[in-house]
Amino acid sequence: MEKDFSIIIGGAAGQGSRRAGLLIAKAFQSLGYYVFVYDEYQSLVRGGHSFSSIRVSSTKKNSSSSEIDFLIALDQRTWEEHRHSLKKEGQVFYNHDYFQIEKEKRAQGIVATQIVEKEKGKKIMENISLVAFFLGSLGFSEEALKTLFRKEFNKFQEINLKIAQKSFEKSILIKKIPLRKKKQEFSLLTGNQALAQGAIKAGLEFYFAYPMTPATGILHYLAGSTGRKAGIKTVQMENELAVANAALGSAYAGKPTMLATSGGGLALMGEAFSLGVQAEIPLLFINSQRPAPASGVPTYTAQGDLSFSLGLGHGDIVKFLVAPGDAEEAAYWAGKLLSLSWEYQTPSLLLIDKQISESTFSFDPEILKKISPIQIFPQSKNKSLNYQRYEITKNGTSSLAFPGQKGIVVKANSYEHLENGLTTEQEIEIQKMQDKRLRKYQAMQKVVNQVDAVKVYGNKKSSQAILVWGSTKGPAREVAEELKIKMIQPLFLEPFPEKRIKAALQGVEHLVLIEGNALGQLEGLLKSYQIIPQEKILKYNSRPFLASEIKAALNKIYKNERSK
C-alpha cells in the first residue's frame, strides 16, 4: 500500500523552519521513504513568513501537495496561513507558550519555550522542541531521535539532545509511521548540490560566481568541504561581468570551468557568452531562474528565462541549451554539458530554476556513475609557432592546445579571425570561419539525436498528451500517470530535438503545453517546427505548479473538448 503524506513546518525568518524541515526529511528518509522538500521564504533576515513543505512517499514524487496531513507552526502566522490546507483528519503541532489555538481538536500544543529556557538553550531551539514532539507523536523511537540529532549537531549537541528528550517525553502517539524495507540507499541533496556533484564527476576544476539567489547554493557547496575535497578552485568575483570574463580566461588556459547566476546576472554575461562562441572557448553557464523582469521576486521561482536563454548572445550563436527537470537530471546534464562544451569547443547553458536549485530531493547517487570524465581532444601535435587554433576542418572542430605548451603560441580572438587566430576583415575569410562554426553546429545537432534528449512518461499510447519542460516535470508526471495520458519532456532546447519530439507526438490528437511563465515561451519555439499545442496551462505567480492545479485545469480542458 502506497504511503503519501505532506508536512508543512513554518515560522518567521530567524526561527529555523528550514533547518527543522530538513531534520524531519532526514528522519523519514531513515525509515526508507522518498522525500521532496520545497522551501519558501521571503527576502528578509527577520520576520515575514517562511516554511518548508515536505512530501513523504513510498514512491518518488518531486512536487508538493496542496493538502497537508501535518502542520508544525512555530508561530501563529503559520497556523493562519496554512490552516485551510490542513486535512480534516490532519494534525497541527504548535508552541503553546507562544500562542494558543482555541477550539481545535486537531491541535497538539507543547510548552516549547519553557523547555528551552529550562535547559538554558537559545530561543531558536524551540524548533528542535517542536520537531522532537512531532516525531514522537508519529511513533519514532527515542533512540532513533537521538541518533538523528547526534549525527546532525556538532555544536550545542548536548543541549539540543536534552531539549529533544524533554519534548519527546511529552508526545502522545497519534499515528504510527511504519518502517519501509529499503531497496536502495538515497541521499538528500538540493538541485544545486546535485549539479555540483555532476560537474565534479565530469572533471570540473574551477568555479566562478557572484552571489545571486537561487544559484548561490552552488557557490557555498563548492567553496565548502565537498568542493575542497574534490580539489575545486572556487572564486567569488566582484560582479557578474568579472565572473564571466575570469571564467573565459580559466577555460582558455585549459581548465574545465563552470559559473552560475540567475537571469539578471546572465544578462550582464551575454557579451562574454558571445565572446566564448567566437573564440571557441568551452565553458558551462548555469542559469537558475527566478521571477523577473529586473529583480522580480528574488526568492521565488519561475520559468520565464527561456526566450532570453535561447537568444543569449549576439550574432549567430552556437551553443547547447538543456533544461533538466529534477536533481538527478541536473547532476547528469551538468556533467554531460561540461563534456560536450569541451568536445565541441563552445559555451553551453544549463537552465534550471529556484524549484530545482533549492528544493531537496531523494537523490540516487547511481546517476553519477553514468557521467564520464571530460575528454579534452583533439590535442594539437603541431609543435611549431604556426599552430592553427581555428583550423578549418570537416566537422568544424579544430585541434586544441593551451597557453604554456612548449613551442606553441595559442591565440584567442573576439574579432573575426583567420585560422591562426589573427584578425581579419576579408569577406571570404569571414564567411569561411562562419561556415566552420555552422558545420560544428550541424555536428552538435547530430548529438541531440544520439542522446536521451526527450523523455516520455505516463501512458505512451494515449492520444492525449501534455508537453512540459524543466521543474514542471514533477507535478505534471504525477498527473499524467494518474490520468493515464502521455507526458513529453524535452531536455534539449537547443539544438532542438525535432525528430525526437515529433516521434513522441505520433498518435497524439490533443496536445496541452504546460509551463511556468505568462507568455507560453516554449510555444514560439514549437511553432517554428510546426508543432502546435491545442491548449496552454500557464502559471506565473512566482509559485511552482501543484499536481492538483494541473489536474483541475486538464479536466476542465477535456470536459470542454468532449462538449464540442
Domains, the chain: 4-169 (3.40.920.10), 187-370 (3.40.50.970), 380-451 (no CATH), 454-563 (3.40.50.920)
Residue 545 is predicted with a pLDDT of 98
Inter-residue contact 235 to 208 (CB < 8 Å): yes
Residue 178 is predicted with a pLDDT of 81
Q: At 528, phi and psi to the nearest 5?
A: -65, -15
The model's confidence at residue 383, banded by pLDDT at 50, 70 and 90, is low
Cβ neighbors of 332 (< 8 A, separation 6 or more) are 198, 324, 367, 370, 371
Look at residue 471 and tell me whether its pLDDT is greater than 90.
yes
**pLDDT tens digits along 38-54:** 999 998 888 899 999 99
**pLDDT tens digits along 288-316:** 999 999 999 999 999 999 999 999 999 99
Q: Which residue has the higher pLDDT, 179 or 187?
A: 187
CA distance 346 to 420: 18
**pLDDT tens digits along 480-489:** 999 999 999 9
Query: What is the 8-class DSSP label of residue 323?
Result: -
User: Grid coordinates standing for 340?
Assistant: 560536450
Look at residue 502 and tell me whether its pLDDT is greater than 70.
yes
Torsion angle of alpha carbons 303, 307, 309, 314, nearest 10°?
-160
> What is this structure's pTM?
0.96
CA distance 520 to 458: 23
The closest of 193, 195, 218 to 207, measured between CA atoms, is 218
Inter-residue contact 170 to 207 (CB < 8 Å): no
CA distance 472 to 481: 14
Percent of the residues in the chain that have a pLDDT greater than 70, as a whole number: 97
**pLDDT tens digits along 509-537:** 999 999 999 999 999 999 999 999 999 99
Cβ neighbourhood burial of 525 (10 Å; 0-12, 13-18, 19+): middle
CA distance 121 to 381: 66
Cβ neighbors of 488 (< 8 A, separation 6 or more) are 454, 455, 456, 465, 466, 467, 468, 501, 504, 505
CA distance 194 to 324: 12
Query: What is the 8-class DSSP label of residue 295?
Result: T
The model's confidence at residue 560, banded by pLDDT at 50, 70 and 90, is confident
> Mind spelling out the 3-state secondary structure of 439-498?
HHHHHHHHHHHHCCCEEEEECCCCCEEEEECHHHHHHHHHHHHHHCCEEEEECEEECCCH
Look at residue 249 and tell me whether its pLDDT is greater than 70.
yes
